[in-house]
Structure 1
Amino acid sequence: MPSKAAKPPRPEPRDRKATRRIAIVAFPGVTLLDISGPAQVFAELEAIELPGPDYSLSYLSTSGGLVPTDVGMMIDTAPIASVAPAEVDTLVIPGGPGIWKIRNDAELMDWIAKALPKARRIASVCLGAFALAWTGILDGKRAATHWRYCPRLQDSFPNIRVEPNAIFVKDGHVWSSAGVSAGIDLALAMIEEDFGHTIALDVARRLVVFLKRPGGQSQFSTVLAAQASDVEGRFSALHAWIIENITDDLKVETLAEKAGMTPRTFARTYVSRTGMTPASGVEALRVETARLLLESRQIGGVVEVAKRAGFGDDERMRRAFLRHLGVSPTEYRNRFSGS
């Protein structure tokens, strides 16, 4: 009697797709954009044909239900007990003023601790880095957080290598980002890692955002710091003119004439408004110009960048970079160019 042929395996339904669960933790006082920014980036993938497993988003809190954000809007969440730590592909810890209280939430911190070794990828946004630091997973790693809290993170956890200039940092499978909107950059970088540059670019275009600010790009610049000090904007036009003429001989007399002052009055007023001497202001603008050229890699060598930024020679630029940024131009390019 002939044997029956083995039945072929039953095909999966056409609309059934494997997914990677992204678990985003919420807590009272969480910053809304720390959650909604990355979530919107991930959600955009629903409209795109993907070469691999899709994402599924879970918003989790200790007890579930509505959780108030820092702006008063509520986020509907599921209880953490509804998701086993082993089911999490990517764990995202956002920040916000409520972050300091979750350290005393034993149930939530225990769930996070159990999820950390099982997740393929772990991430924090803004002050969420402190939650990761409390677990010890950032020890010996590079990390980013909001620039205002970088000194506190470094002082509290000396084993962490805090990078105050970074928009986001990836160290192994642990990611961390700077404040608020930087979570969008982090999420786009994750999509690029999983699905490639073309799909990440598609998402960025749908959201009308850049792909990408390089992960190490400065959160803010010395120029912005000067502008913040010059609250009346008295020298805004002068700064714009300096940038347009960055390779000129920008001595005090030239700047004073452009500002319509005597050199002595100009020097005194500039210091009082910006906190910098005119020479330091020009140098800061040249560092900013060189920084952008190094990040974009549009200019081939450091010597050429030095000329384009008005330094004249690369040694002078190197000393200026060390004063303002604490790294050499070559180190800055290697770390922050995004290549």
Structure 2
Amino acid sequence: MAPGTVTFVVFENFDTLDLAGPVEVFGEAGYNLRTVAPAKGPVTSDAGLSVNPDHSVRTADPHDVDTLLVVGGAGVHVAQQDKNLVRWVADAATSASRVASVCSGAFLLAEAGILDGHRVTTHWRKADRLAAEYPSLTVDCDPIFVQEGPIWTSAGVSAGMDLALAMVEDDLGPQASLAAARELNLFLRRPGSQSQFSVPLWSTPPRDDIMRRVVDAIHADPGGPHGIADLANVAGLSPRHLQRRFTQEVGMTPAAYVERVRVEAAQRDLSERDDPVETIAHRHGFGTAETLRRTFHRIVGASPTDYRARFTTTRPPTHSTPRYR
């Protein structure tokens, strides 16, 4: 069976990539695509791109929706006040087989009452506002996307493509998702549980040259000797003085920073190399595969083996069958 139709909800000042990314993924996989806007006529993205939607909320049948996907963008907070648009989204959600948002599109779904009682995500910059405006939601700003039954929410920009690939896999199976990703030169390496944050976002950039020198030394050789005494020698400070200054400037201890850098280095190797986990553990300073496994699970939320498996699929293997064949 052919895949279904994805209906994208757009509005003035939507985010260009929140729409374009998923459109490319679903289009490559053979879905029918349509756009719905609050009113007839072109809408303009935050980057100045003009899009002429297929329908307005006055002409689109809200009960003829398979997958409903609301994009994000700076204009979403104006769109939240559009009662006709909110009502159309709420009506469409009652008949849609699944409902999704990219980035701040979650605000429009929340305004329509679709997310009540659910765990959801959005861009990390928007998470506090979403939680404050809609206290019935459980807002988790860490994962790149969250699925709870037929409700899917994602972080911003590239996370929308991860979400779309996961939906393609859910519908058509991993080979279809992989084929779409290969055609678009994407890596299927990010399960929904992967954090939105990389090391630079978890930390504060150091202000002075000494701390920058320490940080650069860690990144240059993640598996190198980076005990407190080693890093103190790089900085030309006493271990106690380095510990205090590094924690003040970077926002975490040197040991925690080294650990995160090593985990990210291991993630890259697991995604791009066929080396045994034991080899990767030794290369990046973990010592043993078991130490890597425990650290990886604590920080990434998955084992190294599971993470490697997800390099070729967007989601963990399940026993469910694809929605379409």
Common topology (TM > 0.5): yes
Task: Tell me what 1:10 maps to.
Answer: none
Deviation at 1:192, TM superposition (A): 0.6
Deviation at 1:199, TM superposition (A): 1.0
Task: Tell me what 1:58 maps to.
Answer: 34
Deviation at 1:271, TM superposition (A): 4.1
Q: Is the 8 A contact 1:32 1:69 kept in 2?
A: yes
Alignment pair present for 1:42 and 2:26: yes
Q: Is the 8 A contact 1:141 1:161 kept in 2?
A: yes
Task: Tell me what 2:202 maps to.
Answer: 225
Of residues 274, 293, 302, the one that matches 1:333 is 302
Q: Is the 8 A contact 1:21 1:87 kept in 2?
A: no
Deviation at 1:93, TM superposition (A): 0.5
Task: Tell me what 1:30 maps to.
Answer: 14
In structure 2, how many angstroms separate the alpha carbons of the residues matched to 1:237 and 1:115? 51
Aligned amino acid, residue 71 of structure 2:
P
Task: Tell me what 2:57 maps to.
Answer: 80
Alignment pair present for 1:107 and 2:107: no
Q: Quick one: higher RCO (CA 8 Å, sep 6+), 1 or 2? A: 2
Alignment pair present for 1:119 and 2:96: yes
Q: Is the 8 A contact 1:95 1:128 kept in 2?
A: yes
Q: Is the 8 A contact 2:14 2:45 kept in 1?
A: yes
Task: Tell me what 2:147 maps to.
Answer: 170
Per mean C-alpha deviation after superposition, the further-off stretch among 174-183 and 261-270 is 261-270
Superimposed CA distance per residue, residues 165-215 of structure 1 (whole angstroms, 9 cap, x where no aligned partner)? 111111010110001111100111111111111111010011111114101
Deviation at 1:71, TM superposition (A): 0.8
Alignment pair present for 1:240 and 2:240: no
Superimposed CA distance per residue, residues 77-127 of structure 1 (whole angstroms, 9 cap, x where no aligned partner)? 132233211211111101111000112211111111110110011100000
Of residues 150, 160, 171, the one that matches 2:137 is 160
Task: Tell me what 1:4 maps to.
Answer: none
Q: Is the 8 A contact 1:27 1:61 kept in 2?
A: yes
- What SS is found at the alignment partner of 2:58? helix
1:282-301 matched pairs, under 5 angstroms: 282-285=258-261
Aligned amino acid, residue 74 of structure 1:
S
The structure whose Rg is larger is 1
Deviation at 1:308, TM superposition (A): 7.2
Aligned amino acid, residue 35 of structure 1:
L
In structure 2, how many angstroms separate the alpha carbons of the residues matched to 1:330 and 1:72? 39
Kindly tell me the number of residue pairs found equivalent between the two proteins: 302
Task: Assess, with a 3 A threshold, how the Cα gap between structure 1 residues 42 and 317 changes in structure 2: closer, same or farther.
Answer: closer
Task: Tell me what 1:49 maps to.
Answer: none
Superimposed CA distance per residue, residues 22-65 of structure 1 (whole angstroms, 9 cap, x where no aligned partner)? 111111110010111101111112xxxxxxxx521111112122
CA RMSD of aligned residues (A): 3.6
Question: What is the TM-score normalised by the length of structure 1?
Answer: 0.75
Q: Is the 8 A contact 2:5 2:32 kept in 1?
A: yes
Deviation at 1:228, TM superposition (A): 4.0
Unaligned runs of 5+ in 1: 1-16, 46-53, 322-327
Task: Assess, with a 3 A threshold, how the Cα gap between structure 1 residues 313 and 185 changes in structure 2: closer, same or farther.
Answer: closer
Superimposed CA distance per residue, residues 112-149 of structure 1 (whole angstroms, 9 cap, x where no aligned partner)? 11101100111000001111111222122121100111
Aligned amino acid, residue 164 of structure 1:
C
Alignment pair present for 1:258 and 2:234: yes
Task: Tell me what 2:112 maps to.
Answer: 135
Task: Tell me what 1:93 maps to.
Answer: 70
- What SS is found at the alignment partner of 1:218? coil
Alignment pair present for 1:67 and 2:51: no
Deviation at 1:277, TM superposition (A): 3.5
Q: Is the 8 A contact 2:38 2:84 kept in 1?
A: yes
> Aligned residues: percent identity?
37
- What SS is found at the alignment partner of 2:84? helix
Q: Is the 8 A contact 2:165 2:177 kept in 1?
A: yes
